[in-house]
Amino acid sequence: MIKQLRGVFVSDPWLLGSVVSVLSIGLVMLASASMNIGYEQYGSPYYFLGRQVVYLALGLLVACGVLLMPLSVWARSGNVLLVFSIILLILVFVPEVGRTVNGSARWIGLGAFNLQPSELSKLAIVIYMAALLAAKGNEILNDWKLLLLRLLPLFLMGVLLMLEPDFGATAVIFGTVLTVLFLAGVKLKYFISFLLMLGASAYFLVIMSPYRFSRLKSYLQACEPEYYYKEGYQLCQALIAFGRGDWFGVGLGSSVQKLFYLPEAHTDFLLAVLGEELGFFGSLTIIILFTFLIVRAFSLGAKSKEKKQYFAAYLAYGIGVWVALQAFINLGVNMGLLPTKGITLPLMSYGGSSIVMMCISFALLLRIAYEQKTLKTKSKPKVNVWAAAS
């Protein structure tokens, strides 16, 4: 078992090295960004760092188990994971089970820890779509009625997420599914119709929600007096952080914005603190690392498709798109390119559910790389999932 585990770990050293690099930088920056708020709220400057280390240790432990599991097991488990994630999304609305923070019911209380079901939902929908496309791709990609039928769980998931509300997770999940369908070769007219439908839905959700519409307006003129101390405050403080960082930063640990000027400095706006302390080149390093991770995921997907390992191919594509979308949104929000939205930076921001799911996802990518080198090419994978049943 140890020999196999070592073999999977070294199956793609470039991917592994990039993941370790991002995780390491994330821990250092989290320690820097969270010390003051940790001491203020819990009496310990290392409160958030300590918990993040525990989350990461749990994530790595689970990842080791994932590395040893054949991809065929995940293909057969797609339906179970999907149903389980939907059940968890329902449980956040159950009194005494779900926890509401800042008006959003996104967590399930587990004693001293909180579980965020939306993070599991992202992984579940990626595995579900990979299994579905691998088994029934030719049928559903050319029949819009069958395609919509197979996507009913996705729409149910979207409704539950919007009830929390969690617009960011909804956007990432639907964007991931739509992109994977495009990569799988869905008919262009279906893709455009689906895109227009999602675009119209997003437009009405923003227009009909006063706080979302206000965020959109503040994004366009965040630092104007009308919005500076309201919806635009967080974005303005982030921009000040990047401005202070200049080319090379003010030095690790020397950020001023993390001293209670920038809200959520250790979670959604960790990049702004990094930009202030490490400057333009520090931010550029993170962008390059994420770009490399995403390129490696797509490369694994393309190679798996060449070998006719279709489940592995669509799984790699799905994980790559998921990480790309989530990182792009977080980076865009931090830099003022997108309206303010609470969404974590993968592998870096504080959050147990996010870090554990990311560890599992990149473990799956390493498993894909391992099976590419060890398994014989198959003409068609044998997957038997409820989603792909006729």
Find the angle CA(350)-CA(352)-CA(358) to the nearest 5 degrees: 90
Residues 6+ apart with CB under 8 A from 205: 162, 167, 212
- Please give the residue range of the domain that contains residue 276: 2-388
pLDDT at 384 over 50: no
Mean of pLDDT values over 197-217: 81
pLDDT at 390 over 70: no
Per the structure, the count of domains in the chain is 1
Mean of pLDDT values over 198-219: 79
Residues 6+ apart with CB under 8 A from 360: 59, 62, 63, 66, 123
pLDDT at 387 over 70: no
Percent of the chain predicted with pLDDT > 70: 95
DSSP string, 353-385: HHHHHHHHHHHHHHHHHHHHHHSPP-SS-----
pLDDT at 105: 82
Residue of 313, 324, 321 lying closest to 291 (CA atoms): 324
- Of the ranges 10-14, 54-58, 164-168, 198-202, which is most confident? 54-58
Mean of pLDDT values over 321-329: 96
pLDDT at 206 over 90: no
Mean of pLDDT values over 186-192: 89
* pTM score of the predicted model: 0.92
Do 256 and 286 touch, CB atoms closer than 8 A?
Answer: no
Average pLDDT, the chain: 88
